[in-house]
Chain A
């Protein structure tokens, strides 16, 4: 007797019940897969945006003692630095020079504390690509006395492209100074001012404001070909630089003043993941939530399958008796029941996967407003669907196994029925 064909016939006999059970499994699995995929997409979007905000994946900075006996952040191009970067070979895709000025932007009676990033605007296509001009057009070059403001700051101050602003800032020595600048454009980024890191001026202007010497800047940002290589590259850079200069290692704790004096630059290397640590707890919470949702859905699926197969057992008692009477063994009955359960589960899982991909793709098509804090999780305003296949596979296997376990008890009861008792149950 072809047991699989028998199981298939049983499923087809109760099309509605089979479809409903498979749909329940599909919905549960789709919910889990979607959650995994969207969380993955958010994590990918976050890394992409944070990389853009911070201008790279690995960051080299240097501190020096200035003439006033203070430690200031200033990086001077040197052979040792070039050599250290060169040793990374193909791991490094590109590098950018940056400086940062903490300013108070003043426009009439309004003011706003804003961090301005000094960068080589013409060279940083990634930054320009990540910005959407909300007023004016993004300039092809950024000259002295020009700033590109993020839209939230511009709105707060009520400024438009072409307006003159007063920048109040502090030099590296701590001296107060001011500068008149013109707003070249107002733009919005995925960060949306979240880290105060999406307003820009030219690297040369930032250097002048901070009091850096000609050619100096504050950070050398490296963009890697593979984001997952950041720890390895940072460790290698630290090692290479430590052989020729003073290095403050990443594992060193931050000192509370009272530094021991050193000569020349003291390099430090940080990585993008250092800045992402603040999101670790958020993603841990989402993962815990996903796990809770997964177990709740699995319990619902298990309960559904268990009840359905108990019902099937009641409906088919006489049929089971007949099959046993004409020679089908206990094992055969067990196989028929489990094959039915496996088929429903497989159907549900495949359907659920297709549903998750479909909904994920539809969500990815939509463009969301960047003007909120969630914008940092979007890629170019889109919610990406990036499921971790191993997680999805584990979820599928667990659901499948749990479903079979749920069907096992009614299947075993069916198999253990005595043919005579089963046939008598007709009355």
Chain B
């Protein structure tokens, strides 16, 4: 009877135990990307950036962001503060330009550069490409607060990404990233990113709050709040240099 109970238990538990190994994590990573991309529609929103810097002081900035993920392009226009109003970002293909309304000039910049001097990177403003850039080297199942999550160890498959290693907490319920610890090639933690809330826009999800914490400078962090998200079709003109030039005239 004892053996029969053990056999029964094993029969019931074994499939659950092997479940973790059966998960296709590469596919999961693609699903994480897919959950928040807007491949079939345009997306626009207002982004509020709250920078906390114990050394250089705190500041608040507001931006309007326009994304067209189908063409890997985005336009960002700074709305406040007044001194930086009109500063623009335009990504077309692999190239990212910043626009300075004072000199009325565009400069070529990198997606890996800091976004407006914050802890966010320019690359954080476009769609997620985790599946393309990383491979899963380890995984465990766990919880993050009240959420059941997959904790994935990621390593970059090319040197073109900002962070060589990541530890990613993925919500099992909807395949959204809740937290990421981003590290150097030697494994030193450089930044912790938190995505505590998402909202549904059309059929897609968008992180409405993102917190980037500098792991090297104590107390330095950036909080991003996304509001007024919309999936209305945007004019092609928005994704041109002329739009940024006209926006300040």
Contact = CB atoms under 8 A, between A and B. Distances in A.
Contacts of B217: 106, 109, 111
Interface string B177-209: 000001011101010000000000000000000
Contacts of A256: 97, 106-108
Interface string A382-401: 00000000000000000000
User: Closest 7 A-B residue pairs measured CB to CB?
Assistant: A68-B160, A173-B159, A174-B112, A257-B108, A177-B184, A257-B95, A109-B218
B94 A69 contact: yes
B23 interface: no
A176 interface: yes
Contacts of A176: 112, 162-164, 182, 184, 190
Size range of the interface on B?
20 to 34
A189 to B, nearest CB: 25
Contact of A178 (B107, B162, B184): B184
B159 A109 contact: no
Interface in A249-282: 256-258
B54 interface: yes
Interface in B137-169: 156, 158-164
B162 A174 contact: yes
A111 B215 CA distance: 13
Interface in A146-198: 166, 168, 170-171, 173-178
Interface in B28-70: 54-55
Contacts of B218: 108-109
Interface in B89-123: 94-95, 97, 106-108, 110-112
A179 to B, nearest CB: 9
Given A70-B160, A106-B216, A168-B216, 10 more contacts: A67-B159, A69-B94, A109-B54, A175-B163, A176-B164, A176-B190, A177-B185, A178-B188, A256-B97, A257-B95
Nearest to A169: B184
B219 interface: yes
Contact of A174 (B94, B97, B110, B190): B110
Nearest to B96: A257
A145 interface: no
A92 B169 CA distance: 58
A178 B183 CA distance: 9
A109 B111 CA distance: 26
Interface string A105-126: 0101111000000000000000
B164 A178 contact: no
A173 B160 contact: yes
A175 B190 contact: no
A211 interface: yes
Nearest to A180: B188
Contacts of A108: 218
A355 B106 CA distance: 54
B185 A166 contact: no
A166 B218 CA distance: 13
11 contacts: A68-B158, A68-B160, A108-B218, A109-B218, A175-B161, A175-B184, A176-B163, A176-B182, A177-B184, A211-B159, A256-B107
